[in-house]
Amino acid sequence: MPLRCVGRCLTCGELSDDAASANAAQMWCLKHAERTHHGSYELSAFKSFSATMADSTASGSRPPASVRRIRRRARSGRRAGLGRAVVGGR
């Protein structure tokens, strides 16, 4: 999904339709300024995506295997760090 851009008037809060480019969103701001004389705008970019559980049969109490692997790696990393500190303290 590509980035989408949206302009927002900071005076009245009106939003542009989301556009494929920043230029298109800024054009909406210019037209809004011409019509309303509102002078402050915010331009935002966002990206939509879908999120689903990779393993839909996993129960809620047990995280997916990929998460368990990451947690195990984090724990072993901390242990390795302590080992280096002991060696350095000689």
Residue 3 beta carbon to Zn ion: minimum distance, rounded to whole angstroms = 24
Sign (positive or negative) of CA dihedral 15, 19, 22, 26: negative
Per-position b or e across 7-21, b if 16+ CB within 10 A of its CB? bbbeeeeeebebbee
Query: Residue 65 contacts by C-beta under 8 Å, 6 or more apart in sequence?
Result: 55
Kindly tell me which residue out of 12, 54, 86, 87 binds Zn ion, with binding defined by CB under 5 A: 12
For Zn ion, which is the closer residue by CB, 5 or 41? 41
Binding to Zn ion, residues 37-56 (CB under 5 A): 38
33 binds Zn ion (CB under 5 A): no
Binding site for Zn ion (CB under 5 A): 9, 11-12, 14, 36, 38
